[in-house]
Structure formats: C-alpha cells, structure tokens
Amino acid sequence: MDIQQQAIGFLGGTFDPIHFGHLRPALEITEALSLQQLFIMPNHIAPHKSASHASARQRSEMVELAISHQARMTIDKRELKRHKPSYTIDTLKELKIEYPNTPICFIMGMDSLISFDKWFDWKSILSYCHLIISHRPGWQNKFNKQVGALVAKHQTTDKHDLHNIQFGKIYFQATSQLAISSTEIRTLLNQDISIDFLTPDSVINYIKEQHLYK
C-alpha cells in the first residue's frame, strides 16, 4: 500500500549513560533513510538487563542533553512511565495506535537480530513496524534457521519501501560501529579515568554534577 508518509524511527536502550556509540549510528540511519524523526526511547525496566546505575530521570535527562542540538532527534519517555517490564511488542502496539498512517522503523543492532527469536512475541513484531539493522560494514550472516528464514522473507534493499509500505520489512544499514560501551564508561568513571570523547560534553558535565557511577 502506497501511503505517502515519511517513516519515523525508534531506538530503544538503557542508555546508562548514552554515548557516541549510540548517537553516531542513530544519526547516520536518520540521514541515510530520510527519517522524518528519530525517537530515542530509554527503557524503564529492560527484561534482559540488570538494574541500571542511574535513575530513570537521570538517564532521560542525559538523553535530552545529548540530542539537544539535533532537530530530527527527540526523546520518547513512554517506557520510563511503566512499572512493569517493557517488551518491544507492547510499545509497538501503542505506537501503531498513535501513528496509524506512518511507517515505524524499529532500530536494532546485529547482535539483537541474531537472538531475535528469543524476544517476547517476536513473530508479531513485523506486523507493526519495519526493522532497521545497524551493522558494521562487511558483516557476515550468522543467523540460526528461524531468524534466517525471517530475513529471507522480509528483507528489502530498497529504502523507499520503508516509507511506502506500512510495516513488515527488514533493512540492513551499515553504520559506524564505535567501540564504546556504557559499561566501559561506568568502569572508567569508577576508576577516576577521563571519559572525554566517549560521550557529549553536556552528558559528561551532567554526570559530574549528579555524582553518577562512583
């Protein structure tokens, strides 16, 4: 169905803290795929992660600081308001009600796609969105049988499909894969080692003001 709507993107994560390893690929995807808006969506309770080290409010405020100069990036706080595990399918159902005529692109890394068949209600996810897979250039297919079959059925190499079709496509986008992790940043801070050039200065200043990760 040709719906003549520019797609929007969603990138979920704990963001504890957010850093350039999140931000650079997000920007590249937004520009490469001509997304009208990219929503950064911090998780309140990630089902497969241990407790975070900053509060929901602090993680949210760090995201807002990090993207404050990006006109096409904004924060979506819906998962922070939940008091139960935030499964992707629940969020996508909400989003489809909110954006009934707009294609939704859910962004994930290759590691998430490889284990996609372990996600809650994973077979329903493509009924609500497209999947955008952020990967390093030159990646090699390492999918199991179920995920491989899903990719074979739904993959597109035409980015226009993401705007002209409501849902159901998988698109692979090569992005800069920066060797930065939130765990590394927390470890460095705990050891009083500088985290300059790993995350925006505004986030670094906030971490210092809030005495986080010590």
Q: Are 67 and 74 in contact (CB under 8 A)?
A: yes
| 5-26 residue pLDDT tens | 899 999 999 999 999 999 999 9
pLDDT-derived band of residue 45, with 50, 70 and 90 as boundaries? low
| 121-134 residue pLDDT tens | 999 999 999 999 99
Q: Are 14 and 182 in contact (CB under 8 A)?
A: yes
Kindly list the distances between the CA atom of residue 206 and the CA atoms of 17, 62, 65, 163, 166, in Å, as whole numbers in the listed order: 10, 7, 9, 37, 39
In this predicted structure, the answer to whether residue 4 has a pLDDT above a threshold of 60 is: no
pLDDT of residue 1: 37
Compute the average pLDDT of residues 197-210: 98
pLDDT of residue 137: 84
| 55-98 residue pLDDT tens | 999 999 999 999 999 999 999 999 998 877 778 999 999 999 99
Report which residue type is found at 143. F
Q: Parallel, antiparallel, or unpaired: how do β-strands 37-42 and 73-75 relate?
A: parallel
Q: Are 128 and 91 in contact (CB under 8 A)?
A: no
Compute the average pLDDT of residues 152-176: 98
Report which residue type is found at 138. G
pLDDT-derived band of residue 3, with 50, 70 and 90 as boundaries? very low
- Domains in the chain (CATH in brackets) are 8-179 (3.40.50.620)
Q: What is the pTM of this model?
A: 0.93
Helix axes 56-66, 201-210, angle to 10 degrees: 150
C-alpha 209: how far from chain center: 26
C-alpha span between 3 and 24 (Å, rounded)? 29
Compute the average pLDDT of residues 155-174: 98
Tokens at residue 70, please? Answer: 């990006």
Averaged confidence pLDDT in the chain: 93
Tokens at residue 19, please? Answer: 């850093």
Q: Which residues pair with 8 in a beta bridge?
A: 37, 104
pLDDT-derived band of residue 51, with 50, 70 and 90 as boundaries? low
